[in-house]
Amino acid sequence: MGTAGKTITCQAAIAWEKNSISIEEVQVEPPKAGEVRIKMVSSGICGSDDHVLKGELPMNFPLIPGHEGAGIVETVGDGVSSVKPGDKVLTLIVPQCRECDACLHSKGNFCDKQDVLPCSGTMLDGTCRFSCKGQKVYHSFRTSTFTEYTVVPEIAVVKIDDAAPMDKVCLIGCGVPTGYGAAVNSAKVTPGSTCVVFGLGGVGSAVVLGCKASGASRIIGVDINEKKFPWARALGVTDCLNPKKLKKPVHEVVMEMTGVGADFAFEVIGHTETMLAAWNSCNYSYGVCLIIGLAPLDSQLCLEASKIVSGKTLKGVCLGDYKTRDCIPQLVTDYLQNKINIDPLITHQLPFDKLHKALELYHTGKTVRCVLLF
Ligand SMILES: NC(=O)c1ccc[n+]([C@@H]2O[C@H](COP(=O)([O-])OP(=O)(O)OC[C@H]3O[C@@H](n4cnc5c(N)ncnc54)[C@H](O)[C@@H]3O)[C@@H](O)[C@H]2O)c1
Ligand SMILES: [Zn+2]
Ligand SMILES: [Zn+2]
């Protein structure tokens, strides 16, 4: 009945090459074994999508971008047992296969079935489910959410609470667990601590939420775009710094403001210079620096080796260190129970056919998170 087993023709955004995107009619094949076809309801625009669109990750074009999605399962392929047609689901940029070394380790979450580092642009079997005008179209991060329908491996999909408001919870697929989780789960920010957050976009704002929820007494927000400051203050940032307007390097200003350096520093931009600034803003002895931003793949981070011995910690964080399928549904429930309020992160919601307007708002720095609605 309906569309089961059939190819679906629908609208999707295709990035033909870097910095070139248009909405096209595409064909979406039925899911193969172990895959799920989803009717998208909403998708956030994440900084990682911007890296893809600018060609900063070695991905195959043409591709359908997007990964921070919420939708309803349309059909499932053979052997799929964790979701069924009609379920509300989120798509996951980092899957959880429950078989690989990272999934089996108590602390690991960077599943080796992920398609971020390196990127293949395909499903797990090496083929694609999308085509346009007879041409194969690649996936991005095995999710591809800027489309009315997508196909995703079962290990990169999770069922969520039936009561979830689908126009908002897409953020709990990536930005919220990444930022909020970096603070509450990875750093375990302590009450009364001082935090500094470099980058006040969607993910950095979720870091602020997590620092505030953990009882940080001072949260210093750093961004070169001052349009972000009022939103950041509303979330709990106590001091805003624009490095372009400072007379000294920002880490020196943070050191002066705090006297001893920050307890926790978060880099949520993806530049090596701001990673160094975050590292140098931490207390020498007990400071913890968390790297969340995705730097260009060939870049190197160069630290003063002698300073490491003083005791501070450098830690990379992927998706808040959460095992995604195990933990993300609980974050949705926490939101429904008013334990986390993600609403202030969503500054704009636009219909999918206004994609270019949404990307313009993102590129001109006028949003925290913009959500596309299908
Ligand atoms: N580790 C993970 O699991 C994970 C998950 C999601 C996103 N990310 C990465 O996190 C980063 C942020 O994502 P986002 O969605 O918040 O992006 P975003 O574009 O919404 O936010 C980035 C912010 O950084 C600011 N900025 C840019 N250059 C700056 C500079 N030199 N100094 C200070 N501020 C600067 C921008 O004005 C913007 O407010 C990206 O690199 C993304 O790829 C990582
Ligand atoms: Zn795995
Ligand atoms: Zn993301």
pTM score above 0.85: yes
pLDDT band, very low/low/confident/very high, at 307 (cuts 50, 70, 90) = confident
Please say whether the beta carbons of 52 and 16 come within 8 A. no
48 Cβ closer than 6 Å to some ligand 1 atom: yes
Q: What is the mean pLDDT of residues 135-142?
A: 97
272 Cβ closer than 6 Å to some ligand 1 atom: no
Please say whether the beta carbons of 348 and 171 come within 8 A. no
Nearest-CA residue for atom 25 of ligand 1: 199
List active site positions.
Answer: 46, 48, 51, 67, 174
**Alpha-carbon dihedral angle through residues 297, 47, 197, 247, given to the nearest 10 degrees:** 80
Tens digit of each residue's pLDDT (9 = 90 or more) over 205-251: 999 999 999 999 999 999 999 999 999 999 999 999 999 999 999 99
Out of 198, 269, 276, 280, mutate this one to test ligand 1's pocket (max ligand atoms within 8 Å of CB): namely 269
Separation CA 358–CA 367 (nearest Å): 9
206 Cβ closer than 6 Å to some ligand 1 atom: no
Separation CA 302–CA 248 (nearest Å): 21
- Between the CA of 226 and the centroid of ligand 3 the distance, in Å, is 23
122 Cβ closer than 6 Å to some ligand 1 atom: no
- Between the CA of 103 and the centroid of ligand 2 the distance, in Å, is 4
pLDDT(364) > 90: yes
Which ligand is closest to the CA of 369, given by its number? 1
**Alpha-carbon dihedral angle through residues 222, 224, 227, 229, given to the nearest 10 degrees:** 10
Nearest-CA residue for atom 13 of ligand 1: 47
Reduce the DSSP state of residue 217 to 3 states and report it. coil
Helices (H) and strands (E) in the chain, counts: 9, 18
Nearest-CA residue for atom 8 of ligand 1: 293
Tens digit of each residue's pLDDT (9 = 90 or more) over 81-113: 999 999 999 999 999 999 999 999 999 999 999
178 Cβ closer than 6 Å to some ligand 1 atom: yes
Which ligand is closest to the CA of 108, given by its number? 2
- Short-list 173, 169, 182, 191, CA closest to 209: 182
Nearest-CA residue for atom 27 of ligand 1: 269
Which ligand is closest to the CA of 179, given by its number? 1
pLDDT(58) > 90: no
pLDDT at 182: 98
316 Cβ closer than 6 Å to some ligand 1 atom: no
251 Cβ closer than 6 Å to some ligand 1 atom: no
The alpha helices in 116-266, defined as continuous H runs, are 175-181, 202-213, 229-235, 250-258
Domains of the chain, start order: 8-23+44-173+342-373 (3.90.180.10), 179-318 (3.40.50.720)
